[in-house]
Amino acid sequence: MRYASSPPECIKTQVGQALACGGLQPAPHAGGLKVRRRLKAAPQMRPTQSFRCCSILLLAPTLLVQAQEARSDKLAPYYPTPEIVVDKMLQLGGLKAGEKMFDLGSGDGRLVIAAARKYKADATGVELDDSLARQSADKISNLKLSATAHIIHGDLLQQDYSSADLITVYLLPIGNDKVTPILEKQLKKGARIVAHDFEFSAWKAEKVVDIDDDGEGRSHRLYLYRR
Ligand SMILES: C[S@@+](CC[C@H](N)C(=O)[O-])C[C@H]1O[C@@H](n2cnc3c(N)ncnc32)[C@H](O)[C@@H]1O
């Protein structure tokens, strides 16, 4: 992200949100995470055996998701692509009706929604953050796009992209580096990759497009690669 205005604040805020979304709340007195001692239930409040079993069953999926988020690498903070740039990315990627596109780290789902709605593609977003994944899935369902737009709530480093015609990414350089061997191994010949603002250091771009002003005074650079 070539942040034209106050990037450090933005990154700090987003990282803070990411920690909160991952369920890691610093203790109020600060100075590190504190494990609280479990309080003993008063005798009259002691849960029954079946209540305890139900609680474990209900809590298990949430705990699994939190454990997965904690284990996974956060490859970029949430910083949405302006709508005007969303369209330019999909145009540059030459997305056609019926093609499969994946947005790696899909945020609020704007690229996935545009790909399905405007370009009639079969679009999938992969998003680690619990609340962004839920928010984007709800939006897709409200827009009645569920047949052609999907959100995988998970780690983008753990997915199968072998069917992709187009991949879009807006990740930090370390994120692009980590995803490079996965895409090299999985992508079929001719698949396109469009990267926003940060290039893939291991590849030579087929085309570079500059957007001087996104309407809010920020400039952007897009990179097109082909396998
Ligand atoms: C800069 S935002 C881009 C959002 C969206 N693609 C866009 O262009 O508007 C990066 C997104 O990647 C997500 N992300 C970071 N690491 C991830 C990982 N390992 N797996 C899945 N999503 C991840 C973040 O939560 C964030 O929503």
What single-letter amino acid sits at 115?
Answer: A
Name the residue with the closest Cα to ligand 1, atom 12: 105
Best of 88, 131, 170 to mutate for ligand 1, by most ligand atoms within 8 A of CB? 170
Higher-scoring residue by pLDDT: 26, 100: 100
Name the residue with the closest Cα to ligand 1, atom 9: 80
As a whole number, the mean pLDDT across the chain is 79
pLDDT, tens digit (0-9, with 9 covering 90-100), for 107-134: 999 999 999 999 999 999 999 999 999 9
- Contact criterion met (CB below 8 Å) for 161 and 186: yes
Atom of ligand 1 nearest to the CA of 132: 27
**Residue 129: CB partners within 8 Å, gap ≥ 6?**
18, 21, 22, 69, 78
pLDDT at 14 over 60: no
CATH fold group of domain 83-226: Rossmann fold (3.40.50)
pLDDT at 4 over 50: no
Give the per-residue pLDDT at 215: 92
- Ligand 1 centroid from CA 9, angstroms: 18
* Secondary-structure breakdown of the chain: helix, strand, coil percentages, each rounded to the nearest 5: 40, 15, 45
**Cα dist from 127 to 4, 48, 78, 118, 203, whole Å:** 25, 38, 10, 21, 24
Give the per-residue pLDDT at 72: 73
User: Of the candidates 104, 144, 141, which has an alpha carbon nearest to the alpha carbon of residue 124?
Assistant: 104
Split at pLDDT 50, 70, 90, the class of 135 is: very high
pLDDT at 185 over 80: yes
Say what the pTM is: 0.75
Atom of ligand 1 nearest to the CA of 79: 1
List the domain boundaries for the chain: 83-226
pLDDT, average across residues 39-67? 44
pLDDT at 143 over 70: yes
Atom of ligand 1 nearest to the CA of 89: 8
Name the residue with the closest Cα to ligand 1, atom 6: 106
pLDDT, tens digit (0-9, with 9 covering 90-100), for 210-225: 999 999 999 999 999 9
- Contact criterion met (CB below 8 Å) for 10 and 18: no
Interatomic CA distance for residues 70 and 5, integer angstroms: 30
Question: Residue with structure tokens 């737009």?
Answer: 149
For ligand 1, whether the C-beta of 72 sits within 6 Å is yes
- Indicate the angle between helix axes 130-142 and 7-21, nearest 10 degrees: 90
**Residue 96: CB partners within 8 Å, gap ≥ 6?**
119, 121, 165
Atom of ligand 1 nearest to the CA of 156: 20
